[in-house]
Amino acid sequence: RTVYVNGDYLPEDAARVSIFDRGFLMADAVYEVVSVLDGRLLDFDGHMARLDRSLDALAIANPLSHDDYLAAHRELVDRNAITDGLVYLQVTRGNPGDRDFAYPPEDTPPTVVMFTQAKPGLADAPAARTGWKVVGVEDLRWGRRDIKTVQLLYPSMAKMEARARGADDAWLTEAGHVTEGTSNNAYIVRGGVIVTRELSRDILHGITRAAVLRFAREAQMTVEERPFTIAEAQQADEAFVTSASAFVMPVVEIDGKKVGDGTVGPVATRLREIYLEESR
């Protein structure tokens, strides 16, 4: 595989980042994941807009323009012959010297890394026909989940707990309400109304969420942005999650209880179809 590091395209084995980089020592870094379908990048501009917001929130100066990122994404998709898959992008604060809690000087060059992952048949994932099982796990992440940092240890722990409990993913809960999945936004459907938590610092502002809610409203579906509980979700007609890599993924079981009749519902199916149609 050919990867990108600070302007260079290198074989993955030749790529190097300093052990003093704050991305490595302190998770002082942000990332984006852009899906590739039929060789085309999905929602690229949305991901760039969020990258800017994440970097601004951490006072990391963006070292590249959107056009530079676009060119690098296309170059990597090309060189690695990616038809379906994703491009991972990470920008860290860098670090010229020793470990220190204080940020390094402002002129410290950030580290930029990009790589591809091939996922043949990404849009036709069999899981989209059977749906995911999820379990509730307490949300113990930090309070700025709107910044897409690489602090992913707690979501990884929650994912492992979900696996251990025989599920595909965890729905994180705080003060009794679902915030989001480990790496996706969460929704329920009741009486034709799509319910998903409102945007705040408590959740990541999903790029797929924005697109799916726009398509839902255009299709005259009603959307309610408010928190919901696991108990309410278990009583819902349907549930699903959205993310750049899962698109719209139905959820058919929550904490061992079937949602509706336990099969993939019409709203999730329709939204998945619309999303894949519109973004290709």
By beta-carbon proximity to ligand PDD, the closer residue of 84 and 235 is 84
Q: Is 229 helix (H, G, I), strand (E, B) or coil?
A: strand
Residue 253 tokens read as: 């079981």
Residue 208 tokens read as: 């797929």
* Interface contacts to ligand PDD, rule CB under 6 A: 33, 180, 183-185, 204, 206-209, 242-245
Q: How far is the CB of 184 from ligand PDD (least distance, A)?
A: 5
Residue 278's alpha-carbon distances to 17, 65, 123, 154, 274, in angstroms, are 38, 26, 13, 33, 6
Residue 73 tokens read as: 């994404």
Residues that are catalytic: 148
By beta-carbon proximity to ligand PDD, the closer residue of 139 and 253 is 139
By beta-carbon proximity to ligand PDD, the closer residue of 111 and 208 is 208
By beta-carbon proximity to ligand PDD, the closer residue of 93 and 145 is 145
Question: 110: which DSSP letter?
Answer: P
Q: How far apart are CA 155 and CA 172, in angstroms?
A: 9
**Starting at the edge strand that comes first in sequence, how are the strands of the sheet with 2-5 ordered?**
8-11, 2-5, 111-118, 85-92, 29-37, 40-41
By beta-carbon proximity to ligand PDD, the closer residue of 93 and 205 is 205
Q: How far is the CB of 180 from ligand PDD (least distance, A)?
A: 5
Query: Which string of DSSP letters, residue by residue, matches 115-140?
Result: EEEE-TTGGG-THHHH-EEEEEEE--
Q: How far is the CB of 243 from ligand PDD (least distance, A)?
A: 4
Q: How far is the CB of 208 from ligand PDD (least distance, A)?
A: 3
Question: 149: which DSSP letter?
Answer: B
Q: Which residues contact 265 (CB under 8 A, 6 or more apart)?
A: 189, 237, 238, 250, 259
For 192, the enclosing helix (H) or strand (E) is none
How many Cβ atoms are within 10 Å of 226's Cβ, its own excluded? 9
Q: How far is the CB of 194 from ligand PDD (least distance, A)?
A: 15
